Amino acid sequence: MKFVHIADMHFDIPFTSLNQKNMGNARRLEQREAFKNIIEYISKNKIEYFFICGDLYEHEYIKQSTIEFINNQFKQIPNTKIYIVPGNHDPKIKNSYYEKYKWNQNVNIFSSSIQKISQGNIDIYGYGFDNFYMKNTKIDEIKIEDENKINILLTHGSIDDNDDIRQYNPMSMASLKKLPFDYIALGHIHKTNYNPKTHIIYPGSTISLGFDELGSHGMIVGEINENKKLQIEFITVDKKEFVEINQQVDEILSKEELIEKINEYNYEENKYYKINLIGKRNFEIDTIEILKYIIIPNILKIKDKTDLNIDIYGIAKEQSLKGIFVKNLLEKINEQNKQQILKAIEIGLEAM
């Protein structure tokens, strides 16, 4: 049997972190393009099974037109059996599209009751969300009916998480390894844990949702033969990659010079960039203002990680107007207001 495994597509997510450059719409179009490429791959390679392990869409924001788009794509692969487990962002609740929409006949949607669907020599078990939180798991209760068959588990949730976030179908790796499944298809964690030597797989988010998801994103393609030998590979489907670049500012003397430096860099069209400003700054840095003058469209963010290029504690010891100013502000500093106080000192000293 051949299969494709994806998770965490998050259709119609607002992409609020990209709104500074109004890139949300562009990214949603790239999301649709990636999904069409997956469907095309499935069609061309005659993939028999398509596993979607949660968070296919955003319940809060999803439009019916997007659901129609997804379902129309499913119609392009009528000979492929599609299995969906709802996640915490697209739970199978009363008013969800999983409940109220008429999906194509090749689509199977699991619920929060452990279900098994048999396809000849293959048994597929699924367990999904029926709410936005699921603090307990039923995975440990699964009893495989026929271990001679190819057995596959689809679910969405966290593995070995700490107590603060044990609210998304919390599972343990030790328990999963004890279950005699030939492949465990997971969703929820946006970073892939692809390893051809294991059968418990997070494919990661299908496309990157922002700068906290660097690197390649895509799908797992796998095959299990009649002897239950598993072969898998990771295939990139996201044509864009989010990357971070550090820009030293120690020897840059003005905002204008910094803007010129950033604009002169050799950027790649297939990447979205976040520029981290590092080192000792010699002038006040306003990243929002600087971003307005960046002519490279795929530079989406600028982050100021610099320190003041002055010895404020030395200045505070001076018997001068500057010294009194800095000393008075430093006396008011604490962990909560530290950045604001340092910025006030910088602006005040520059004005003086």
What's the rounded Cα separation, in Å, for the pair 27 and 22? 10
pLDDT bracket for residue 165 (50, 70, 90): low
Last residue of a domain, one of 236, 265, 287: 236
Do 145 and 217 sit in the same domain of this protein?
Answer: yes
Q: State the pLDDT confidence band at 302, using cuts at 50, 70 and 90.
A: very high
* Among 130, 96, 137, CA closest to 110: 130
Weakest-pLDDT range from 39-43, 101-105, 165-169? 165-169
Pairwise CA distance, residues 49 & 284, whole Å: 56
Clarify whether residues 169 and 270 are in a common domain.
no
Averaged pLDDT score across all residues of the chain: 93
What is the per-residue pLDDT across 315-341, written as a single tens digit (0 to 9) for each? Answer: 888 888 888 888 898 888 888 888 788
Residues 107 and 152 in one domain: yes
Cα(246)–Cα(135) distance, integer angstroms = 40
Three-state SS at 165: helix
Is 244 found in the same domain as 230? no
Do 268 and 170 belong to one domain? no
Give yes or no for residue 18 having a pLDDT over 80. Answer: no
Query: What is the residue range of 257's domain?
Result: 240-308
Q: Do both 292 and 316 map to the same domain?
A: no
Question: At residue 189, does pLDDT exceed 80?
Answer: yes
pLDDT, position 163: 56
Q: Under a CB-based contact definition with an 8 Å cutoff, are residues 285 and 299 in contact? A: no
For residues 136 and 225, state if they share a domain.
yes
Supply the DSSP symbol for 147.
T
Q: Average pLDDT in the 41-68 region?
A: 98
Among 236, 252, 275, the domain boundary falls at 236
Report the alpha-carbon distance of residue 50 to residue 74 in Å, rounded.
Answer: 10
What's the mean pLDDT in 152-179? 88
Give tens-digit pLDDT for 64-106.
999 999 999 999 999 999 999 999 999 999 999 999 999 999 9
Of 207, 236, 265, the one marking the end of a domain is 236
State what percent of residues in the chain have pLDDT above 90: 78
CA separation for the pair 85, 261 (Å, rounded)? 48
Least confident of 11-25, 49-63, 81-95: 11-25
Question: Are 125 and 229 within one domain?
Answer: yes
Task: Enter the tokens of residue 173.
Answer: 């790796």
pLDDT tens digits, one per residue of 249-266: 999 999 999 999 999 999
Backbone φ and ψ for 139, nearest 5 degrees, come out as -60, -40
How far apart CA 306 and CA 250 sit, in angstroms, is: 9
CA–CA gap between residue 173 and residue 162 (Å, rounded): 13
Model pLDDT, residue 230? 97
Least confident of 93-97, 186-190, 269-273, 346-350: 346-350
Q: What is the pLDDT of residue 350?
A: 74
> Are residues 173 and 277 located together in one domain of the fold?
no
Domain count, the chain: 3
Q: Does one domain contain both 223 and 272?
A: no
Q: Are 219 and 247 in contact (CB under 8 A)?
A: no
35-49 CB burial, b ≥16 within 10 A, e <16: bebbbebbeeeebbb
**CATH code, 97:** 3.60.21.10
Same domain, 162 and 297: no
Identify whether residues 200 and 326 lie together within a single domain: no
Burial 192-211 (b: 16+ CB within 10 A, else e): bebeeeebbbbbbbbbbbbb
